[in-house]
Amino acid sequence: MSKLNSTMETSGRRSAPINGIIKHPDHIKPQPNITEEELDRKAMAGEALNRRNSWEPSVFYSLGLETFCFAGHEISIRESLDTYGALIWPGAVALCNYLEKDREQFNMLDKAVLEIGAGTGLLSIVASLMGAWVTATDLPEILNNLNFNLSRNTRGRCRYTPQVAQLTWGDDLARNFPSSIYNYDYILCADVVYHHDCLDDLLITMKHFCRPGTTLLWANKIRFQSDLRFIDKFKATFNTTLLAEIPEEEVRIYQATALKK
């Protein structure tokens, strides 16, 4: 027996030689390190795809149409997969339902209403149909689709024509939206909290607009640990009440008012 064969027989750590060649075990490629942030982004992307039930082709981008019935009107919303802000999320639908069912508690008639992160505009449209004077805000890239949806669903139907304005959370609010001029009865927010880098700026923006006498209504699907951390900060910033919890959608609806100084 050769020295090589003798070594192979007495060692359990090597493979048997094939034609005199020792075959070592294949290396196992280690799994990539996936951070919590990456998992959250993938979860949001998957949810975004699932939000779409049907698509219509377009020369410019893929469009989807969703139809709702609120405040006695059929509402047709154009969506796009270009950005999260151009999709309808469960928090918006939940808050629309809540406002319609609890009109006596939250009467929108002749009220000044600001929506933060209006997205497709569904919530602003419903508030407008209920008689509110609405300003719908979002980032510049969202405004064209937002304005389109507001116009097609409110023209000739509403007491007041809803307005659209650019708002970047936390960006020079005192100069762009001075409290001496911009005062609202209601602030509406739906699904503005998910995995993004602007949560602190969002809270600053909520606090800026939620002055004494203002009621903030916020609906959100609870997806990530970062959402729960935001809720803790939200509760520390405002007087808060949990108005409703929808387990099947994992949505919570909160009411908030300014803390007394």
Integer Cα distance of 187 and 255 in angstroms: 10
| Comparison of pLDDT for 245 and 36, the residue scoring more | 245
Which residue segments constitute the domains of the chain, with CATH numbers given? Answer: 58-258 (3.40.50.150)
Local structure of residue 177 (DSSP, 8 states):
S
Residues in the chain: 261
What is the chain's mean pLDDT, rounded?
A: 82
- For 78-107, what is the mean pLDDT? 85
Backbone angles phi, psi at 79, to 5 degrees: -115, 165
Say whether pLDDT at 248 is over 50.
yes
Q: Specify the pLDDT at position 123.
A: 98
Closest CA to 257 of 209, 221, 191, 198: 209
Integer Cα distance of 40 and 226 in angstroms: 10
Q: Specify the pLDDT at position 15.
A: 41
Integer Cα distance of 56 and 43 in angstroms: 24
- For 185-212, what is the mean pLDDT? 94
Give the confidence band of 43 by pLDDT, cuts at 50, 70, 90.
low
Q: Specify the pLDDT at position 37.
A: 52
β 63-70/73-80 pair status: antiparallel
Q: Specify the pLDDT at position 90.
A: 94
| pLDDT per position as a tens digit, 107-133 | 999 999 999 999 999 999 999 999 999
Residue 143 · residue 166 · CB < 8 Å: yes
Backbone angles phi, psi at 2, to 5 degrees: -75, 160
Closest CA to 98 of 253, 222, 209, 224: 253
Place of tokens 């409110």: 154
Q: Specify the pLDDT at position 261.
A: 73
Write the CB contacts of 105 (distance below 8 Å, at least 6 apart in sequence).
none
Question: Looking at the DSSP assignment, which residues form a beta bridge with residue 65?
Answer: 78
| pLDDT per position as a tens digit, 3-14 | 444 433 333 344
**How many angstroms separate the Cα of 88 from the Cα of each of 53, 104, 118, 119, 126?**
11, 26, 10, 8, 14
Q: Which residues of 215-231 are buried (b: 16+ CB within 10 A; e: fewer)?
A: bbbbbbbbbbebbeebb
Q: Specify the pLDDT at position 196.
A: 76
What is the 3-state secondary structure of 218-256? Answer: EEEECCCHHHHHHHHHHHHHEEEEEEEEECCCCEEEEEE
- For 164-189, what is the mean pLDDT? 96
Encoded amino acid at 92, one letter? A
Q: Specify the pLDDT at position 55.
A: 34
| Comparison of pLDDT for 58 and 143, the residue scoring more | 143
Q: Specify the pLDDT at position 4.
A: 41
